[in-house]
Structure 1
Amino acid sequence: MQKFYEGLGAEEGGVAQKARVLQTKLNQRLQVLLDKTTPKPVERWISLTVLVFLYFVRVFVLRGFYIVTYGLGIYNLNLLIGFISPQIDPETEGPALPTKSDQEFKPFVRRLPEFKFWRAATKSVLIGFAMTFFPMFDLPVFWPVLLLYWVMLFTVTMKKQIKHMIKHKYVPFSFGKKKYTGKDQKKAPK
């Protein structure tokens, strides 16, 4: 009986130890890849857009997996809400000291940072893409009903979120850092 377990345990050279070493190496390579993509947001979002396009082409060609697509839509809608919501909700923050809110600068801090939003969305699309290779996930549903329900859910959720933005006077989007030029700077010769 003892010989049966030899080679499966964590002893040196065992299968479990080799699997852990392989997993550690794969995690390190993934982290290096993620570290390289961090300063390139445009390229990351373009790659996600291409991935989503490929997913929709696959679903269109297969004419199925609508329930997986609906699940992806709901999950990514939830991610979007976290992305455009403030980290601290002004309604539940509690009473604040009286200040002149017109002169006080409060930066917008997201509940879900942009990089984590991109990573979670990419991971969800990859998982959904992988699910399209297994016919057990192709449940028969009437897709127009799912689409209509998702559009209705998106509309109601965004309406609520936009009202919250207007009420608490915040904008979750900024398009880069403002650039200031000094008076003493001279233009470089061409």
Structure 2
Amino acid sequence: MRLLARYQQTLDRWTPHVLQRWLSTAALLAVFLLRIVLAQGWYIVCYAHAIYLLNLLLAFLQPKFDPSLQDDLMADEIEEGGDEGATSPLPSQRDDEFRPFVRRLPEWQFW
């Protein structure tokens, strides 16, 4: 329990330092790539790790709720005799609610 509290305290301390986190991640990635080149090995392991990192990056950049997918689902409901007054999930009128961009993978889980 004490270790978990210490971990959370460290995360809370690093939260406002976004630029430093990105720079340190880029530096660690550069050191990792330099190690691969100098060692001239571990290519399969590095390839698998790169695929994993790419998967995380794509999940980080994608929205949690895809508006085009929701449009397709609403169109299917209308065709099946669902609600005829269905509207788009994006705000198109003044009284529609604005929905902010929510990432599929939060930043801390990406780290």
TM-score (norm 2): 0.70
What residue ranges of structure 1 are gaps of 5+ in the alignment?
A: 1-23, 120-190
Q: Residue by residue, what CA displacement relative to the aligned partner does 1:4-61 show, whole Å, maximum 9, x if unpaired?
A: xxxxxxxxxxxxxxxxxxxx44443332222211111111111111111111111111
**Structure 1: distance between partners of 2:41 and 2:48:** 13
SS state of the match for residue 55, structure 2? helix
Higher-Rg member (1/2)? 1
Q: Give 1:112 shift.
A: 1.1
Equivalent residue pairs, number: 95
The one of 39, 51, 62 equivalent to 2:28 is 51
The alignment status of 1:116 with 2:93, answered yes or no, reads no
**Structure 2: distance between partners of 1:69 and 1:110:** 26
Query: Which residue of the partner structure matches residue 80 of structure 1?
Result: 57
SS state of the match for residue 91, structure 1? helix
TM-score (norm 1): 0.44
What residue ranges of structure 2 are gaps of 5+ in the alignment?
A: 75-85
**Structure 2: distance between partners of 1:25 and 1:55:** 32
Q: CA RMSD in A?
A: 2.3
SS state of the match for residue 16, structure 2? coil
Q: 1:68 to 1:46 in 2, by over 3 A?
A: same
Q: Give 1:77 shift.
A: 1.0
Query: Which residue of the partner structure matches residue 97 of structure 1?
Result: 87
- Work out the percentage of aligned pairs sharing the same amino acid: 41
Query: Which residue of the partner structure matches residue 107 of structure 1?
Result: 100
Q: Which runs of 4+ in 1 moved over 6 A?
A: none
**Structure 1: distance between partners of 2:105 and 2:87:** 27
Query: Which residue of the partner structure matches residue 167 of structure 1?
Result: none
